[in-house]
A = this chain, B = another copy of it.
Amino acid sequence: MVKKIEISYPSSQKIYLKGRLYPDLRVGMRQVTLTPTVKIVNGKEVKEENEPVLIYDTSGPYSDPDIVTDAEKGLPKMRLAWTEGRKGTIMELAKQGIITEEMEYVAIRENMDCEAKGIKSHITPEFVRRQVAAGRAVIPANINHPEAEPMIIGTDFAVKINANIGNSALSSGIEEEVEKAVWSCKWGGDTIMDLSTGNDIHKTREWILRNSPVPVGTVPMYEAFEKVNGKAESLTWEVFRDTLIEQCEQGVDYFTIHCGIRLHNVHLAAGRLTGMVSRGGSIISKWCQVHGEESFLYTHFDDICDICHKYDAALSLGDGLRPGSIHDANDAAQFAELDTMGELVQRAWAKGVQAFIEGPGHVPMHKIRENMDRQIEKCHGAPFYTLGPLVTDIAPGYDHITSAIGASMISRMGTAMICYVTPKEHLALPDRDDVRTGVVTYKLAAHAADIAKGHPGAALRDNALSKARYEFRWKDQFNLSLDPERALEYYKISNEVGGKYCTMCGPHFCAMRISQTLEKETNGQSTCEIL
C-alpha cells in the first residue's frame, strides 16, 4: 500500500476560508494564480494583473502541502469535534433551527467567495439550514466518517457528481480501489460509491473510508448477497440489517437501498426489452418472487431509518426498476417505483433521516423532462440523483458521452447529483484512466448545468479561461481547465516547443490575432509563443 498520497494542481495553492458562526471552520479551496495581461497601449507595453480564480476543491488534505497524509493512519478526523455530544441528526437540528458546523461549511464552500467579486448569492448558512430541514437538500455525513469534508446535495446548490468505484470478484485489489477513490477526488468527484462485490468487501471499504475526503456511499445489499453466497432466496432481513449496521459503524455516509420495489409491482418489468438492470433491484425482486412476499426492504423501512438515524447516515432510495434501454424509459414499472419512493422519503424525514431519490438510466431526450417533473411531483422536493441518463443505446465505448448529454439536461432541470458513467460502461469495469475520463466528463456536464441554472459565480472560471485563451496566455488557459494535464499534453503533441506558430492556424490564419488587430489596444502576448 502506498502510504503517502499527494495531489497537486499547476499554479495552484490551497487556501482556507474561515467561518463566522464557527470561527474555527476552515473551508479548503483551490486558488489558481494567473499571469498578467500584457497590452500595447500607445506603443508601450502595459501589464494588467489578472485576479486569481477560486475553484471548488474536492481533493481534501491531499492537496495541502502542510498536511502529511498516511494511508495506514487515514485522513485527519476534522468532524469529530463537531459531532461529539451532538444530540440528533443534522436534519433534526436543522428542523430545530440550529445551524450546525456542516451547514456553515457548505454555505462557504458553495459560494467560493463570490460576494467578494460583487456576485450576490442566495446561499447563506440559514438558507442551508432551511433547505436541509425541508428535505430539499442533503448533507451526507455519517458521524463515523469524520474524515469527510461536508458537501451539500440539492437543487439550489451546485450540481454534484458521484464516481462509482469498487472491484468485483474477478478484478482489482484494495490498493487499486483506494487509488481510484483519491484519483476521483483529484478530478473533482463530489462523492464516491464503493460498489465492490468481490472478496474483502469490508476491508476495501475500510481503507476507502479512512482515506476519503468526500462522502462515501454503498449498496449494502451487495455485501449481504455475498454473505448468502449469491442466492437471493436465502436473504433475510437479519442478514441485511447486520450488514447495514456494520457499514454504518464503519462510516458509510449514504446507502442505496432498493426499498421502492413492491411485490405487486415486480411483474411490471416483465414486458420490458431489457428487464431489470439494477443489481440490487434484481436481487430483491427475485427474493419477492421466490417467497411470494413483500420485500423486507419495504416492510422494514422504519427499522432501516432507525439504524441510519443512529449514525446520521443518509438514504439514497435506489431505483431498482430504472430503464436499461431507451425502449423501457418512463414505463409503468419505473414510475410505480417512483411513487413508492415518494411515500418512503416522507417516512425517512419523519425519522430525522436525510434522503434523496435515485433515477434515470437510459432515457431519450424527449422523455427526460417527464422524469424530473414526476420526481418533483411525487417526491416532495427531495433531491434527485440520476445515473446519466443515456440518451441513446447505440454507443458502447462512448457512454460517458451519451450519458453526459442526458445528465447535463436533467441537472439543468433540477437534478442535484449525477452519477458518472465511464467509457467502459456495459463493457468492463473502469480502470484509473476511465475514472478520470468519467469524472471530468461529469464535471463539465454539472458545470454546464450550474451556469444554466445561474449558480452564483459559476461563470467566473469560464470567463477567466476564455480571457486567457483570447490573450494567448496558454498556461493560464490550461491551469484553469478541468484537466490541465490533458490540455497541455494535447497541445504539445503538435506544437513543438520553440516553434514559432501554433499548428492550428499556421502563421496567417489565427482569427484571434486578426481580431485583436481590430482593437485599439492590442494584447502583447504573441499568438506564436509555444509553451
Chain A residues packing against B (C-beta within 8 Å): 168-171, 197-198, 222, 225-226, 229-230, 232, 266, 269-270, 273-279, 281-283, 285-286, 289, 324-327, 362, 364-366, 391-398, 400-402, 404-405, 408-409, 412, 423-424, 426-429, 431, 440-441, 443-445, 447-449, 451-454, 459, 461-463, 465-467, 469-470, 477-478, 480-483, 486-487, 489-491, 493-495, 499, 501-512, 514-519
| 7 A-B contact pairs sorted by A residue (CB < 8 Å) | A230-B507, A365-B412, A392-B447, A401-B401, A401-B444, A423-B490, A424-B493
A-B pairs with lowest CB-CB distance, top 8: A230-B508, A169-B506, A325-B466, A275-B515, A365-B452, A282-B514, A397-B486, A428-B494
**With a CB–CB cut-off of 8 A, which chain B residues contact A429?**
494, 503-504
**With a CB–CB cut-off of 8 A, which chain B residues contact A519?**
270, 275
A294, chain B: closest CB distance, angstroms: 16
Q: How many copies does the complex hold?
A: 2
Find out whether the CB atom of B276 lies under 8 angstroms from the CB atom of A168.
no
**With a CB–CB cut-off of 8 A, which chain B residues contact A494?**
171, 424, 428-429, 431
**With a CB–CB cut-off of 8 A, which chain B residues contact A362?**
466
Q: Which of the residues B397, B466, B518 comes within 8 Å of A327, measured between beta carbons? A: B466
**With a CB–CB cut-off of 8 A, which chain B residues contact A509?**
168, 197, 222, 225, 230, 279
Find out whether the CB atom of A495 lies under 8 angstroms from the CB atom of B448.
no
A357, chain B: closest CB distance, angstroms: 20
Known A326-B459, A394-B447, A459-B326: A466·B365 in contact at CB below 8 Å: no
- Docked pose: A123 CA to B288 CA in angstroms: 48
Find out whether the CB atom of B276 lies under 8 angstroms from the CB atom of A515.
yes
- Docked pose: A393 CA to B454 CA in angstroms: 15
Find out whether the CB atom of B462 lies under 8 angstroms from the CB atom of A326.
yes
A358, chain B: closest CB distance, angstroms: 14
Find out whether the CB atom of B364 lies under 8 angstroms from the CB atom of A448.
yes
Find out whether the CB atom of B366 lies under 8 angstroms from the CB atom of A444.
no
Nearest-CB residue, chain B, relative to A474: B427
A441, chain B: closest CB distance, angstroms: 6
A249, chain B: closest CB distance, angstroms: 24
- Docked pose: A412 CA to B391 CA in angstroms: 12
Find out whether the CB atom of A276 lies under 8 angstroms from the CB atom of B448.
no
Find out whether the CB atom of B168 lies under 8 angstroms from the CB atom of A503.
yes
A162, chain B: closest CB distance, angstroms: 18
Q: Which of the residues B402, B447, B501 comes within 8 Å of A448, measured between beta carbons? A: B402
Nearest-CB residue, chain B, relative to A283: B514
**With a CB–CB cut-off of 8 A, which chain B residues contact A510?**
279
**With a CB–CB cut-off of 8 A, which chain B residues contact A483?**
395, 397-398
**With a CB–CB cut-off of 8 A, which chain B residues contact A392?**
444, 447-448, 451, 462
Known A364-B451, A481-B395: A514·B465 in contact at CB below 8 Å: no
Find out whether the CB atom of B365 lies under 8 angstroms from the CB atom of A517.
no
Other than the known A168-B509, A397-B483, what 20 A-B pairs have Cβ atoms closer than 8 Å?
A: A169-B501, A226-B508, A273-B467, A273-B470, A274-B467, A282-B511, A282-B514, A285-B515, A324-B512, A366-B452, A391-B451, A394-B462, A395-B440, A398-B444, A398-B483, A401-B404, A404-B404, A405-B445, A405-B448, A409-B409
A33, chain B: closest CB distance, angstroms: 17
**With a CB–CB cut-off of 8 A, which chain B residues contact A441?**
398, 401
- Docked pose: A84 CA to B270 CA in angstroms: 58
Find out whether the CB atom of B269 lies under 8 angstroms from the CB atom of A515.
yes
The CB with the most chain B CB atoms within 10 A, among A408, A453, A512, is that of A408
**With a CB–CB cut-off of 8 A, which chain B residues contact A397?**
481, 483, 486-487, 489-490
- Docked pose: A81 CA to B393 CA in angstroms: 40
The CB with the most chain B CB atoms within 10 A, among A229, A451, A467, A511, is that of A511
**With a CB–CB cut-off of 8 A, which chain B residues contact A461?**
394
- Docked pose: A477 CA to B477 CA in angstroms: 40
- Docked pose: A275 CA to B517 CA in angstroms: 10
**With a CB–CB cut-off of 8 A, which chain B residues contact A515?**
269, 275-277, 282, 285
Find out whether the CB atom of A286 lies under 8 angstroms from the CB atom of B491.
no
Find out whether the CB atom of A391 lies under 8 angstroms from the CB atom of B364.
no
Find out whether the CB atom of B501 lies under 8 angstroms from the CB atom of A396.
no
Q: Which of the residues B197, B466, B514 comes within 8 Å of A505, measured between beta carbons? A: B197
**With a CB–CB cut-off of 8 A, which chain B residues contact A495?**
428
Find out whether the CB atom of A448 lies under 8 angstroms from the CB atom of B516.
no
Find out whether the CB atom of A514 lies under 8 angstroms from the CB atom of B427.
no
A31, chain B: closest CB distance, angstroms: 16
Q: Which of the residues B225, B269, B412, B447 comes within 8 Å of A508, measured between beta carbons? A: B225
A464, chain B: closest CB distance, angstroms: 9
**With a CB–CB cut-off of 8 A, which chain B residues contact A269?**
515, 518
Find out whether the CB atom of A451 lies under 8 angstroms from the CB atom of B326.
yes
**With a CB–CB cut-off of 8 A, which chain B residues contact A506?**
168-171, 197-198
